[in-house]
Structure formats: structure tokens, C-alpha cells
């Protein structure tokens, strides 16, 4: 056995983005344009990823359309046999670029929607964007790409979940991914503005379940629950270093897009090492592989094969030790830090700290 074989690579081609969403999954410390990998670096990474067993490639960001070599990278990925998804805000997806991407062999495009209410959507994105997204969606559909709408859910939009799902259907989506906000980086910084109430979460779960039935055969709906309201943690990408890897704009390789916030860890990068070496041999990828690193209560817990102790990044962010049980788990002795966060929605909603690449977060 050659060990674990990854299936998915998320390529964060750039951290530059026209949107300023306060829950962005990029780290607080955003990579600047001058540090980004060159075209040939990315091509080498894609080739090495396929050789390692990767099947799915996410061309993501920031806004990946800000990379002028996106079409070239998409064509290279297709030649290597990867199935690529462009993860975009839709801004900058002109007909010319979409046609070039189609020619390059790109198959699937994901466009983010912030809300069904255009005013709230633009308040969340921090920029005029709704019309651009509608135009982009029409182009994606017309050119025959597989089309997914993705939506991050939180306190300000969760009550319109039904309308949001209907909007995705009107835009012609094949799929909609509804993911409650995960509280890392920007999301954690804005947690008290984003955290929904328990009532919101319960209502939205019912709305999602009904919509899944109603849209069956027309539009696939995936609904990711907010883990803070769950009794057990999520199985983060099937476990650390098992199926998934992320390459950041400057070439750092991570087991999870939030991993740089584990400030006690060092991550290797693709300009110094092969992807295969990083995946198999690097200290970072080996740190939490398997279960020998686990402490109690995980070590003796039958659920360790189901959720792998939850998320290492969340354990670090909330408890200060990445080897602790994810405190979302009700078996964690530190679950109180999550329960305390669940009292946040009962207080007045603070303003968002918007994502910004230039120094300090921008206040509304």
C-alpha cells in the first residue's frame, strides 16, 4: 500500500478578490499578488497532484478570475485528467472568458450568492455585485457548464433560506451548496455578527429538508449544518491528510484551508518540495494522520473512526492545542467555550469587519 491517496486539491490561485465577505475562508493574513506562484509552478502542482491520485481540482481564491493565466491552468488540469471546478464570485466572468474556459475543458462552475435580498447581499459582499452575478449565471448556463450556486449561511440571511434556494433554481443551477458559516479566520473574527440563533437553525433545517424533496430530480441540494449547534464535531475532510489538500497562493501546502491559523505548525511549500514528499513525509501532514496523536476523550471513543476527533484548526483556535478534542464535541471537557459562543446571538449584532487585503479589516 502506498499510504493515503488524496482525491481533492483546492488551489487557492490568489487571495485578491473584489468581494469583502466577513466570513471569507481565506486567512486573516492574506497573501499579496507579488508572492503568488507563477503559471509554471501551478502547472507542476497540478501534474504532481494527478500523479499522487487527485481527481478533483478546485480552482479557487480569492477570485481566481483575477489570474490572467486561469484558462491556461484550466487547460493543463484537463490534459492531466483532473475534473475542475471554478469557484468564483462571478465578478469578471465575461462571455469571452467563459468561452475560453469552456474551450480549455473546464466542466463545472460554482458561483457564490450572498442572499436573495439584493440589498443584504451587497451589504454582506461589501460591494455592488448582484447584477454581475446574474449575468455570470446566465453565461454559465448558456455555455452548458455544470453549475452550482454556493451560499454561506449566517444570522443575516438564514431566515430567507427558502427564497435563496428558489433564486438558485431560477438562475438555472444544477446544484446548490448551503453551508453554515465555519468560524475560522474572518468568520471567527466576525462570529458574534454571524452566529445564528438556535430557532433560526431549526427552522432552516426544516426549510432545507422540504426543498430537498421539492427540487428532487431538478436541482441537488446539499446542506451543511452549523457545527456549533451539533453534539458531535464534523469529520473534517475525512481526517487530516487523508483525502484533501490545499495549496495557498504562495505555494504552501495545507491539510485544510484553515490550517495556517495553527501557529505552532510549519507547512512546507511547492517551490521547495514535491507535492508527493509533502503529502507523505512532511511533519505537518503526518502530525494528525491516523489516531495515535489523540488524547482522551477521543483516544478511547468509538466515534474516533467517524469524526477523527473533529477539526484540528477549531481545536487550536478555541482551546489553544490542536491535539485536543474539537470542543464542538459534547464529550469535550472544553465544550463550554462553544456553548458560550451560542449566547452571542442574544446580544446586539455588531458591525462586520470586512475582509481586506491591505492591512487592517475594514469596518462598515
Instruction: Report, in Å, the least distance between residue 53 CB and another protein.
Output: 4
Report the distance separating Cα 256 and Cα 279, nearest Å.
12
CB 190 within 8 A of CB 23: yes
Which cell numbers hold the place of 150? 454556493
Closest by CA to 89, choosing from 182, 33, 17, 38, is: 17
- Which of 16, 108, 257, 355: binder of another protein (CB under 8 A)? 108
DSSP bridge partners of 59: 11, 86
Contacting another protein (CB under 8 A), which of 7, 47, 192, 250?
A: 7
Helices and strands, number each (H, E), in the chain = 14, 11
Decide whether 173 or 322 has the Cβ nearer to another protein.
Answer: 173
Taking the complex as a whole, the smallest distance from the CB of residue 56 to another protein amounts, in Å, to: 6
Report d(CA 130, CA 340) in Å as an integer: 35
What's the rounded Cα separation, in Å, for the pair 354 and 360? 9
**At closest approach, how far in Å is the CB of 78 from another protein?**
10
CB neighbours of residue 144 within 10 Å? 9
For residues 76 and 101, is the Cβ–Cβ distance under 8 A? no
Please list every residue from 285 through 324 that binds another protein, using CB under 8 A: none
Pick the binder of another protein from 69, 80, 107, 276 (CB under 8 A): 107
**How many of the chain's residues bind another protein (CB under 8 A)?**
21
Q: Identify the helix (H) or strand (E) that includes residue 283.
A: helix 283-287
> Residue 241 — left, alpha, or beta (φ > 0 → left; ψ -120 to 50 → alpha)?
left
Closest distance to another protein from the beta carbon of 292 (Å) = 26
Binding window for another protein (CB under 8 A); candidates: 35-43, 144-152, 260-268, 292-300: 144-152
DSSP assignment letter at 195? P
Segment holding 111, helix H or strand E: strand 108-112
Query: Given candidates 28, 41, 53, 265, which one binds another protein under the rule CB under 8 A?
Result: 53
Pick from 148, 261, 314, 325 the residue near another protein by CB under 8 A: 148
Q: Indicate whether 217 belongs to the interface with another protein (CB under 8 A).
A: yes
| Of residues 76, 60, 56, 69, the one with CA closest to residue 110 | 60
For residue 83, the minimal CB distance to another protein (Å) is 4
Which parts of 266-285 interact with another protein (CB under 8 A)?
A: none
Considering the complex, what minimum distance in angstroms separates the CB of residue 176 from another protein? 12
Instruction: Print the binding letters for residues 114-143 with another protein: x by CB under 8 A, - otherwise.
Output: ------------------------------
Contacts to another protein by CB under 8 A = 5, 7, 50-53, 55-56, 81, 83, 85, 107-108, 144, 146, 148, 174-175, 177, 217, 220
Amino acid at each position: 500500500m502506498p499510504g493515503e491517496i488524496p482525491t481533492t486539491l483546492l488551489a487557492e490561485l490568489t487571495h485578491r478578490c473584489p468581494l469583502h465577505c466577513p466570513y471569507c475562508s481565506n486567512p486573516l493574513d492574506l497573501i499579496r499578488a507579488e508572492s503568488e506562484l507563477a503559471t509554471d509552478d501551478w502547472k507542476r502542482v497540478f501534474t504532481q497532484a494527478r500523479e499522487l491520485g487527485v481527481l478533483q481540482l478546485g480552482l479557487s481564491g480569492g477570485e481566481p478570475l483575477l489570474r490572467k493565466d486561469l484558462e491556461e491552468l484550466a487547460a493543463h488540469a484537463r490534459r492531466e485528467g483532473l475534473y475542475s471546478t471554478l469557484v468564483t464570485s462571478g465578478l469578471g466572468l465575461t462571455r469571452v472568458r467563459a468561452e475560453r474556459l469552456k474551450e480549455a475543458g473546464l466542466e463545472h462552475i460554482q458561483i457564490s450568492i450572498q442572499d436573495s435580498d439584493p440589498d443584504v447581499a451587497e451589504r454582506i459582499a461589501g460591494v455592488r455585485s448582484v447584477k454581475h452575478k446574474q449575468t455570470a449565471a446566465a453565461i454559465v448556463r448558456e455555455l452548458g457548464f455544470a453549475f452550482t450556486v454556493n451560499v454561506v449561511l449566517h444570522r443575516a440571511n438564514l431566515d430567507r433560506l427558502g427564497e435563496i434556494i428558489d433564486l438558485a433554481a431560477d438562475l438555472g443551477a444544477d446544484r446548490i451548496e448551503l453551508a453554515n458559516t465555519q468560524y475560522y479566520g474572518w468568520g471567527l473574527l466576525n462570529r458574534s455578527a454571524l452566529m445564528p440563533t438556535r430557532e433560526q437553525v431549526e427552522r432552516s433545517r426544516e426549510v432545507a429538508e422540504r426543498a430537498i424533496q421539492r427540487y428532487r430530480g431538478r436541482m441537488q441540494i446539499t446542506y451543511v449544518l452549523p457545527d456549533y449547534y451539533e453534539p458531535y464535531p464534523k469529520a473534517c475532510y475525512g481526517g487530516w491528510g487523508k483525502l484533501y489538500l490545499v495549496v495557498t497562493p504562495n505555494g504552501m501546502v495545507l491539510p485544510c484551508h484553515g490550517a495556517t491559523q495553527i501557529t505552532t505548525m510549519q507547512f512546507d511549500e511547492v517551490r521547495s518540495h514535491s507535492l508527493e514528499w509533502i503529502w507523505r513525509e512532511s511533519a505537518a501532514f503526518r502530525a494528525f494522520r491516523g489516531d495515535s496523536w489523540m488524547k482522551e476523550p477521543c483516544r478511547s471513543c468509538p466515534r474516533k473512526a467517524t469524526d477523527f476527533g473533529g477539526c484540528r484548526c477549531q481545536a487550536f483556535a478555541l482551546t489553544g492545542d490542536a491535539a485536543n478534542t474539537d470542543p464542538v464535541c459534547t464529550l469535550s471537557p472544553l465544550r463550554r467555550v462553544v456553548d458560550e459562543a451560542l449566547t452571542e446571538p442574544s446580544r446586539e449584532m455588531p458591525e462586520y469587519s470586512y475582509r481586506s487585503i491591505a492591512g487592517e479589516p475594514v469596518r462598515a
